[in-house]
């Protein structure tokens, strides 16, 4: 029973992180396709795609850090304030 309660804490950050990564990558791919069709500035599309991949990797790192924070969290964190 306690394990189910602990798993519920992980669901929201995982869903949010995955959705954010999907939107970041989709946006990068969208602009990559747009810039690739314009002659002479196709390199900007590659740059945008690389930045979006970098942001997705950063989101993975933030998600991992958040999951570690949740794991280390006290049951009575509000009692400290």
Judged by average pLDDT, the poorest of 5-9, 21-25, 75-79 is 75-79
Phi-psi region of 40 (alpha: psi -120 to 50; beta: other; left: phi over 0): left
Query: How many whole angstroms separate alpha carbon 48 and alpha carbon 31?
Result: 7
3-state secondary structure 11-40: HHHHHHHHHHHHHHHHHHHHHHHHHHHCCC
- pLDDT exceeds cutoff 70 at 78: no
Q: Which residues contact 53 (CB under 8 A, 6 or more apart)?
A: 25, 28
Judged by average pLDDT, the poorest of 18-22, 32-36, 65-69, 71-75 is 71-75
Task: Identify which has the larger pLDDT, 20 or 75.
Answer: 20
pLDDT tens readout for residues 27-65: 999 999 998 888 888 788 889 989 999 999 999 999 999
Annotated domain spans of the chain:
2-74
Query: How many whole angstroms separate alpha carbon 41 and alpha carbon 19?
Result: 29
């Amino acid at each position: 029973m306690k394990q189910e309660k602990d798993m519920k804490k992980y669901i929201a950050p995982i869903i949010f992180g995955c959705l954010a990564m999907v939107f970041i990558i989709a946006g990068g791919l969208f602009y990559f396709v747009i810039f690739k069709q314009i002659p002479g500035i196709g390199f900007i599309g590659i740059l945008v795609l690389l930045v979006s991949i970098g942001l997705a990797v950063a989101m993975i790192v933030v998600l991992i850090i958040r999951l570690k924070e949740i794991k280390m969290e006290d049951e009575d964190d509000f009692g400290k304030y």
